[in-house]
Amino acid sequence: MLPYATYIVDFDDFIVVMGRFEKYNVDLKGLKTSSLNLEFDLDNAFFGDIDGEEFQKGAVKAVVTVKRSRDVFDFSFDLKGKVVVPCDRCLDELEVEVETENVLRVKLGEEYADEGDIVVVPEQDGDINIAWYLYEFIALALPLKRVHAPGKCNNDMLGKLKKHSAGSVADVDEDGEQEVDPRWAGLKNIQFEEDN
Ligand SMILES: [Zn+2]
């Protein structure tokens, strides 16, 4: 069990964080019309607050449409813009264009459940915060390989990386295998007596 005070601190953080993402809250129960259109300009402040692993900067226009039929809400996300990720080769900033469309079905139910592309929201809360989905859908749309165009890498960074990796490369032989620790290498020469 954590001390009681820890819960209090976490709760304060939670309130601060929720405050920042308040405008990404969608009141499902209170939705009076059969469809709703939302637009967001996701900027560096948003991505910084989200604090995701893949990227923390960008400028993405998000158009979110919600269509309601009884207690089912079909969200469609249209995301278009640019985000900044580290280059795989030089680690310097690299701007990547993103354009992606995603759907999410949300239902009102007894208790919260996330079943992949269907999310159940407790009826008594009746709302969902889509901030994390906005980030996640963009992260999923990023290319696997992220490198600057030929000749556009940061040469200073490349130089430093090369120097740094030169030291560790020496420890690896041509097969890419780690060389055997000399203390253990001697074991190879020990002949075990056979019982016959
Ligand atoms: Zn690069």
- Give me ligand 1 centre to Cα 102, in Å: 29
Residue spans of alpha helices (H) in 4-142: 4-20, 44-50, 131-141
3, pLDDT greater than 60: no
Cα separation, 139 vs 52, in Å, equals 9
User: Pairing between strand 93-109 and 57-69?
Assistant: unpaired
Q: Which pLDDT score, from 0 to 100, does residue 115 have? A: 84
- Give me ligand 1 centre to Cα 86, in Å: 8
Helix H or strand E segment including 160 = helix 155-169
126, pLDDT greater than 70: yes
Q: Where are the domains of the chain?
A: 4-141, 155-189
Percentage of residues of the chain with pLDDT beyond 70:
75
User: pTM of the predicted model, to two decimals?
Assistant: 0.74
For residues 79 and 138, the answer to whether their CB atoms sit within 8 Å is yes
135, pLDDT greater than 70: yes
- Give me ligand 1 centre to Cα 156, in Å: 11
Q: How do residues 95-125 score in pLDDT, each as one tens digit? A: 999 999 999 999 999 999 988 779 999 999 8
- Give me ligand 1 centre to Cα 122, in Å: 46
Pick 133 or 188 by higher pLDDT: 133
- Give me ligand 1 centre to Cα 178, in Å: 28
- Give me ligand 1 centre to Cα 118, in Å: 38
Helix H or strand E segment including 51 = none
- Give me ligand 1 centre to Cα 91, in Å: 6
Instruction: Kindly tell me the burial class for residue 109, based on how many C-beta atoms sit within 10 Å of its own C-beta (0-12, 13-18, 19 or more).
Output: middle
- Give me ligand 1 centre to Cα 93, in Å: 7
- Give me ligand 1 centre to Cα 168, in Å: 21
Cα separation, 50 vs 188, in Å, equals 53
Q: Which pLDDT score, from 0 to 100, does residue 32 have? A: 86
